[in-house]
């Protein structure tokens, strides 16, 4: 874990072991290890994977507070420096959220991650920030969400033994704010985790949408530290999470695991060389998926699918632009992988159709 002075986007150096910064470090190590493997550097991949494993274990064992959420463990030599301390901070499992976005495996244990997100829902999310903020022992902050509007507050302090952030300063007011970029990150992570967290993630996203409805503000300008603030682009993560989207260009792989209406789902997709639409539909015992390229091309060797759980396909057939292409099917824990032995290249305005029975 990183423990020295840690610069971050909340405008003050933090000290100590911080779950969100160290989890991002672990995720970055995992990403680096995958890049090393892509380049044939197995030694580096092994080294970074080992460090990442130790980091994940330390975060899980040392920073999970009261079996509810992850914290910043303060540095006793820098208690005057600002930090969330034992608070329930919005980015606490950021590393895991980021890992999901790029197809990496777990950075933090499933059970702890889900508990942390449920704690954010319990302690930080509110349909009305007015009375919510009036009861805090940590005053200050800008009103990006006004009284009568909902959102997820940056940090709360549910531990009665530690009711305030550590340190002090102007930036402590940030903890009372609703900043959409951070909220979108939590919403996307909730949707990625699945189950009952999908609805909670969508509720967080809807609160942001309602705050920036054109009747109130500009829906294309989610203000944080300035107009048209770049962090709001994290909203795209909610979309990819809802699609369960994965894409690996060099391996010529694309995949979908819809979190919403998997029996009848449709959404756009983007890849490095083209973009188009994906759909999947269940009719009786027949499951059909289609990829249509609207612009560019899409080269595929494998296609990942997650059909509704009540069906168990035994066979696959595939057609590209009306012509049969050879394909095989493998299934593991509800996850399907269709392999095109000869590979396929979907050109502009062509449709790849896959039928499972």
pLDDT in tens, 22-46: 999 999 999 999 999 999 999 999 9
Residue boundaries of the structural domains of the chain: 17-240, 244-356
pLDDT for the residue 176: 94
Lookup result for tokens 């999970």: 64
Average confidence (pLDDT) over 103-122? 97
Residues 284 and 263 sit within 8 Å (Cβ to Cβ): no
Question: What CA–CA distance (Å, rounded) separates 259 from 309?
Answer: 12
The yes-or-no verdict on residue 136 having pLDDT over 80 is no
Residue 5: burial class (beta carbons within 10 Å; 0-12, 13-18, 19+): exposed
**pLDDT value of position 331:** 86
What fold characterizes domain 244-356? Answer: Immunoglobulin-like (2.60.40)
pLDDT for residue 140 = 87
Long-range CB contacts (within 8 A, 24+) of 36-43: 38/250
Query: Are 61 and 132 contacting, i.e. CB atoms less than 8 angstroms apart?
Result: no
User: Tokens 């499951």 appear where?
Assistant: 287
The owner of tokens 């959409």 is 180
Q: What is the pTM of this model?
A: 0.95
According to the model, what pLDDT value does residue 170 have?
84
Please write the tens of the pLDDT for every residue from 280-319: 999 988 899 999 999 999 999 999 999 887 778 889 999 9
């Amino acid at each position: 874990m990183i423990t020295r002075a840690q610069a971050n986007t909340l405008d003050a150096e933090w000290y100590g072991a911080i779950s969100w910064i160290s989890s991002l470090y672990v995720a970055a190590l995992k990403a680096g290890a995958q890049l090393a493997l892509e380049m044939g550097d197995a030694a580096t991949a092994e080294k970074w994977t080992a460090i990442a494993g130790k980091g994940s274990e330390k975060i899980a064992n040392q920073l999970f507070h009261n079996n509810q959420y992850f914290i910043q463990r303060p540095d006793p030599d820098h208690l005057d420096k600002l930090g969330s301390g034992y608070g329930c901070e919005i980015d606490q499992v950021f590393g895991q959220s980021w890992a999901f976005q790029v197809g990496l495996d777990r950075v933090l244990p499933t059970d702890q991650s889900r508990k942390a997100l449920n704690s954010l829902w319990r302690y930080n999310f509110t349909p009305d920030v007015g009375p919510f903020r009036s009861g805090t022992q940590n005053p200050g902050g800008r009103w990006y969400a006004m009284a009568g509007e909902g959102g997820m507050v940056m940090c709360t302090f549910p531990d009665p033994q530690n009711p305030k952030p550590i340190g002090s300063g102007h930036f402590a007011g940030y903890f009372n704010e609703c900043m959409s970029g951070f909220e979108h990150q939590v919403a996307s992570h909730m949707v990625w985790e699945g189950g009952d967290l999908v609805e909670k993630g969508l509720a967080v996203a809807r609160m942001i949408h309602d705050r920036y409805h054109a009747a109130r503000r500009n829906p294309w300008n989610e203000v944080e530290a300035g107009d048209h603030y770049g962090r709001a682009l994290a909203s795209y993560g909610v979309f990819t999470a809802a699609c369960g989207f994965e894409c690996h260009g060099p391996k010529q792989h694309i995949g979908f695991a819809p979190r919403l209406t998997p029996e009848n789902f449709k959404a756009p997709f983007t890849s490095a060389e083209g973009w188009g639409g994906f759909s999947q539909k269940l009719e009786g015992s027949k499951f059909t998926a289609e990829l249509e390229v609207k612009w560019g091309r899409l080269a595929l060797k494998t296609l990942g699918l997650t059909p509704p759980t009540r069906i168990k396909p035994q066979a696959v057939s595939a057609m590209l632009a009306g012509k049969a292409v050879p394909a095989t099917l493998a299934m593991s824990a509800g996850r399907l992988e269709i392999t095109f032995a000869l590979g396929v290249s979907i050109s502009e305005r062509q449709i790849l159709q896959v039928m499972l029975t």
